[in-house]
Amino acid sequence: MEEAKAFIRANTRITGVSGLGDLRVYQADELTPLWEATEKDLARANVAPPFWAFPWAGGQALARYVIEHPAQFVGKRVLDIASGSGLVAIAAALAGAKEVAANDIDPMCEAAIRLNAELNSVDIRYIGGSLLEGKPPAFDVIVAADVFYEQRPAQMFRAFLEKSHKAGITVFAGDPGRSYFPRDAFRQVSEYAVHTTTEIENHPIQTARVWTL
């Protein structure tokens, strides 16, 4: 863990996120060099791309929605699934959530989330591994951003979110129009123009929407 944290500190910079006030996270400027450095410096093969090092469009929109609508999150138990950098989880904590957990399958995300939580003086509990199978988790709200970019994962996330919703959990999703987003299943609640990078998106400014079930 400490080795991963040191790597992140050495290869990224602390930067604010447009539209999110004083919230800051460790960010990279380029995807491929950081990906290569992760394998070399940490002596790891076949590592996942460092998606944790960028504020994705759907995540930015969802984080803004959370901060702008604190009444929907204050005092709640919130799970940020496929959390990446922990951006939306941090927003939930800043909005007054009683308990916030961040989940991802990439081990590097744990280090990134812990660093970013410390940076913003919030407490985030990390949960590793996939939560998509089995019973819905014990939370009041689930937030999910940028999870519909590939067909099979999109199907799995949809099933998980619908299952959680049927169990009484409030669900919010942030998405910038990805191909496999199940628009027919969701209801839009907000829309934002967000600044991003062409390292991970097609355009420097993306329209991203927040949806609920």
Whether 70 is covered by a domain: the verdict is yes
Q: Name the band, by pLDDT with cuts 50, 70 and 90, for residue 1.
A: confident
Where does the pLDDT of residue 29 fall: very low under 50, low under 70, confident under 90, or very high at 90 and above?
A: confident
What whole-number distance in Å separates Cα of residue 89 and Cα of residue 156? 21
pLDDT band at 204 (very low <50, low <70, confident <90, very high): confident
Domain of residue 207 covers 55-212
Supply the mean pLDDT for the chain: 94
**Residue 170, number of CB atoms within 10 A of its CB:** 17
Look at the chain and report how many structural domains it folds into.
1
Q: Does residue 12 lie in a domain region? A: no
Q: Is position 30 within any domain?
A: no
- For residue 73, being part of any structural domain is answered with yes
Task: Tell me the pLDDT band of 79, cut-offs 50, 70 and 90.
Answer: very high
| 202 pLDDT tier (thresholds 50, 70, 90) | confident
Is 179 among the domain residues? yes
Task: Give the Cα separation of 114 and 102 in Å (integer).
Answer: 10
Q: Which pLDDT score is estimated for 36?
A: 78
Residue 135 included in any domain = yes
Pair 38, 50: CB distance under 8 Å: yes
Asked if residue 145 is part of any domain, the answer here is yes
Closest CA to 181 of 171, 191, 173: 173
Asked whether residue 41 is assigned to any structural domain, the reply reads no
Q: 132-187, pLDDT tens digit by residue?
A: 999 999 999 999 999 999 999 999 999 999 999 999 999 999 999 999 999 999 99
**198: amino acid identity, one letter:** T
Residue 206 one-letter amino acid: Q
Which CATH number characterizes residue 105's domain? 3.40.50.150
